[in-house]
Structure 1
Amino acid sequence: MADKPVSIAVSVWIGYEPILLARSKGWLDERQVHLVEVASATDCLKLLAEGKVDGAALTLDEALIGRARGIPLSIVMIFDVSTGADMLIARLGIKQLNDLKGRRIGYEPGAVGALMLDQVLRAAGLKKEDVKLVALAIDKQHDAWTHDKVDAAINYEPVASQLLASGGHKLFDSRQIPNTILDVLAIRGEILDHPHASAIRQLISAHFRAIGHLNRNPQDAAYRMATHLGLSPANVLSAFKGLVLPDAVNNYRLMTGPSPELLRTARKLSEIMVKNELLKQDDTMISLIRADFLPTDFQAN
């Protein structure tokens, strides 16, 4: 065992809740793993850059940004995959995607927003020049919608429900681009070697145990998560809609093989990020994926 526990930065997001559930249930060995709770992914990247934490829960694009900044991150597990949680909401007069031509589309100019915009335009047969782009932080979208500053917007819960309740309808969501938008556990490369390897494996196993508990006892899990998320237990369960939490077998399926699905997704995302000037150059993908920390007794045949 290492002298001090491996430290992992975690921000507030429904997809990261199982690892906090594992801690509250006593399944996470806090002698080996210390969770550092922070306000945002920006804080996670800052702590990683400063060497104050050994890893973090990040979106895939954030992991690529960290690597571009010189932080040697490797992905050891996938927390969640968006299956409808990210969407395009449009006003009722916009009945199909190609009706977006000449319209104002609000989107958050980070990588997920850029990725969704790219896929929406591709599905609509349009180019960026065919629409009017409005850069909008997620917390500004409802106000912009209410004041008729946008005709459509790319977003996620709880903003999506607010726009739907304000007369919008869903035209596109992340179910149409499966296994593309996801959250990962990213660890600094030097931490992955002995004597820290057992701590990483313990963390991952505790996460999968918590997912099993969530699936078998959703009410108990939701009750434990509610206070941290600031939601009612019922709203916690509805918040998981639109997300898939891959178990060990599905993590193994997405992260291994001659051409892992996660690697293909990362390459596609890297290209989109370069095109949108979120990265200066494509990620080399060297040491991006380390699937060898997944529990071997769950590996698919």
Structure 2
Amino acid sequence: MNRKSFGSTMKHLLARVILPATAALAFAAQAAPPLKIGYSDWPGWVAWQVAIDKGWLKEAGVAVDFEWFDYSASMDAFSAGKIDAVTMTNGDALVTGAAGGKSVMIMLTDYSNGNDMIVAKPGIKSLKDLKGKKVAVEEGLVEHLLLLNGLKKMGMKESDVTLVNAKTNEMPQVLASGDVAAVGAWQPISGQAMKSLPGSRPVYTSANEPGLIYDVVAVNPVSAKQRKAEWVKVVKVWDKVVKYINDPKTQPDAVKIMASRVGVAPAAYTRFLKGTKLLSLEEGKKVMAKGPGFGSLYGSSKVADDFNVANGVYKSHQDVDGYIDPSFTDAALK
């Protein structure tokens, strides 16, 4: 049919107008960009690699691009609007938000259960032995908070040690240099620090402070609101990931996938997993209930907020409640 005959009847005229418009709408729906999530080298976040490799997100009907970063770079990319969401600690969500990169924590992946460490040189057996000595931490980050909480438990204060500010990824070299008595770092960097100085050992870990450091998926508030149905699908996949990793029958395959992502041997990665308490959605829902103390994401985040203000990480207290939205986890469990 040529153009002339196509336009000769109302039926064909309508077809010219309606059908292309319908096709355009369908194309627009299909062309919605994938959700972009930044993730980095932490067992609770590398766990997403299982879902990626298994194709579970696609099966769930959601398009997601996971982008690999160094941790600090992932938060920078989120703040710059280059990604829709980022995996980070609850405390760092507040830090990023205070600097302008607001987010909403829609789910928990885990809490650190030993992988965050204060690693001391040979001869030092406890935090008390650090009195009057130099300790390297990346000031304002979670190991700094871990150290301060540990010192407080020992009846000590920050002024009892001399803090040396250093990048977390440099801690193995810092400890090996002999200039400090201890360093703060998380796995795998804490493990590398112990290898760099034979005889060094952890004298305090996040296993002593369960709930001090929660790990979350934090989403840009606009994306969270406009694409909530898609984010709920992402959250729902998490339960499948946790079950696959924790099941003795499938754990070897899961560990192989995760170890491959970060370039370490599976046997080594199994040890990293032991220091990370992966949280199912049901467990995460309980933690997202309001309450004081480390048993609640709200209580833990309030501790982090107080720490951040006291240490000049940012000036004004953050509205902790505004950073947490349990409705995504609740919806995924229905």
Give the TM-score of the pair, scaled to structure 1.
0.90
Please give the alpha-carbon distance, in whole angstroms, between the structure 2 residues aligned to 1:32 and 1:152: 45
Q: Is 2:247 the partner of 1:212? A: no
Change (3 A) 1:232 1:258: closer
Offset at 1:140? 2.8
Q: Is 2:87 the partner of 1:57? A: yes
Offset at 1:18? 2.3
Q: What is the aligned counterpart of 1:201 among 232, 240, 260?
A: 232
Please give the alpha-carbon distance, in whole angstroms, between the structure 1 residues aligned to 2:153 and 2:80: 41
Identify the residue that residue 304 of structure 2 maps to in structure 1: 269
- What's the CA shift string for 1:19-57, capped at 9, x where partnerless? 221121111028633224132233323332332322111
Please give the alpha-carbon distance, in whole angstroms, between the structure 1 residues aligned to 2:199 and 2:309: 35
SS at match of 1:105: strand
Percent identity, please.
26
Change (3 A) 1:137 1:33: same
Offset at 1:14? 2.0
Please give the alpha-carbon distance, in whole angstroms, between the structure 2 residues aligned to 1:297 and 1:85: 28
Q: In the comparison of the two structures, how many residue pairs are matched? A: 298
Q: Is 2:233 the partner of 1:233? A: no
Identify the residue that residue 9 of structure 2 maps to in structure 1: none
Please give the alpha-carbon distance, in whole angstroms, between the structure 1 residues aligned to 2:298 and 2:85: 19
Change (3 A) 1:73 1:160: closer
Greater relative contact order structure (CA < 8 Å, 6+ sep):
1
Q: What is the aligned counterpart of 2:178 among 148, 160, 165?
A: 148
Offset at 1:70? 2.5
Q: What is the aligned counterpart of 1:15 among 44, 53, 71?
A: 44
Higher helix share: 2
Please give the alpha-carbon distance, in whole angstroms, between the structure 2 residues aligned to 1:75 and 1:269: 15
The more displaced of 172-181 and 257-266 is 257-266
SS at match of 2:100: coil
Report runs of 4+ in structure 1 exceeding 6 Å deviation: none
Give the TM-score of the pair, scaled to structure 2.
0.81
- Higher-Rg structure is 2
Q: Is 2:305 the partner of 1:283? A: no
Offset at 1:113? 2.2
Aligned counterparts, 1:118-197, within 5 A: 118-165=148-195, 166-194=198-226, 196-197=227-228
Please give the alpha-carbon distance, in whole angstroms, between the structure 1 residues aligned to 2:126 and 2:72: 35
Offset at 1:289? 1.0
Q: What is the aligned counterpart of 2:75 among 26, 38, 45?
A: 45
